[in-house]
């Protein structure tokens, strides 16, 4: 029976799609059966970040409207045979998703996967509320920056009130994933540090993803960073976070890329 996980944030551009792809691939690498669903109807991008943009035939809205079967819309990853993608549609109709439709899809997927990961759109409109609606676990992606932390706080409030679990008097298990973290700037007092963010949000930490060039490189080539360069610092941070999701006890630390003297003198190799 799958665990339904929502990757959410409120604010846009903090790394929801990057994190969905990286965590999905990291879990699938361990042999778990994983489906990632793009809820950003009208602005789909998970397909592009995962390198499946030319293989989209049917999408989430087609399945909700009964135009296609779930099995027809799911795209199997070319690198990992336990990873599947359900793309969003590019329709401009913001009412294309219905709660009943999504409930049906999640219900159909639960018995067939270990993880169903819902990539939420930014904002607090229908796409975002439906992405979190049936979640068991939430990963709140937060940058160490005031507007992102404020929006995360708002999203935490919605997870505690507007989800199916909350309405039944249960709790969605919540985790903060801090992305684009720069330990040096935080040490100099130029960036909110981990303790500040966690204290303000009073939510446990899933992982710390350091700011890295590898994240842009991964999206450039259409591969989750945990597959494109598994030894890079963001990939190691995501792989650790995925293990924590599975219940492993992994000590928290911030991976770094060791640079040799040559790198320091001449900059990083061209990616």
Asked if 159 touches another protein (CB under 8 A), the answer is no
Give least dist CB 258 to another protein, A: 26
Nearer to another protein, 3 or 174 (CB): 174
If binding is defined by CB under 8 A, does position 154 make contact with another protein? yes
Shortest spacing between CB 203 and another protein, in angstroms: 13
Q: Which is nearer to another protein, 161 or 258 (CB)?
A: 161
Contact between 92 and another protein by CB under 8 A: the answer reads no
57 binds another protein (CB under 8 A): no
Residue 162 and residue 64: Cα distance in Å, rounded? 21
x/- binding map, residues 198-227, to another protein, per CB under 8 A? --x---------------------------
- Sole window of 80-88, 120-128, 181-189, 254-262 interacting with another protein (rule: CB under 8 A): 181-189
Taking the complex as a whole, how short is the minimal distance between the CB of residue 264 and another protein, in angstroms?
A: 23
Contact residues toward another protein (CB under 8 A) are 145-146, 149-150, 153-154, 157, 186, 188-193, 196, 200
């Amino acid at each position: 029976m799958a665990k339904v996980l929502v990757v959410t944030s409120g604010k846009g551009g903090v790394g929801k799609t990057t994190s969905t792809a990286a965590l999905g691939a990291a879990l699938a690498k361990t042999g778990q059966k994983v489906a990632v669903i793009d809820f950003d109807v009208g602005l789909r991008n998970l397909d592009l970040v995962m390198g499946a943009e030319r293989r989209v035939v049917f999408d989430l809205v087609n399945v909700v409207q009964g135009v296609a079967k779930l099995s027809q819309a799911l795209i199997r990853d070319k690198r990992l045979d336990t990873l599947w993608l359900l793309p969003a549609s590019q329709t401009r109709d913001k009412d294309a998703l219905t709660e009943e439709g999504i409930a049906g899809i999640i219900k159909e997927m639960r018995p067939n996967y270990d993880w169903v990961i819902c990539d939420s759109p930014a904002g607090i409109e229908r796409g975002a509320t439906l992405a979190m609606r049936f979640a068991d676990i939430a990963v709140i992606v937060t940058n160490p920056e005031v507007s992102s932390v404020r929006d995360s706080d708002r999203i935490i409030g919605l997870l505690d009130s507007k989800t199916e679990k909350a309405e039944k008097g249960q709790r969605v298990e919540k985790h903060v994933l801090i992305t684009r973290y720069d330990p040096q700037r935080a040490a100099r007092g130029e960036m909110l540090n981990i303790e500040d963010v966690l204290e303000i949000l009073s939510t446990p930490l899933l992982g710390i993803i350091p700011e890295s060039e590898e994240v842009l490189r991964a999206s450039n080539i259409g591969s989750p960073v945990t597959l494109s360069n598994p030894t890079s610092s963001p990939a190691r941070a995501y792989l650790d976070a995925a293990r924590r999701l599975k219940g492993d006890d992994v000590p928290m630390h911030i991976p770094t890329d060791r640079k040799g003297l040559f790198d320091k003198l001449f900059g990083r190799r061209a990616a």
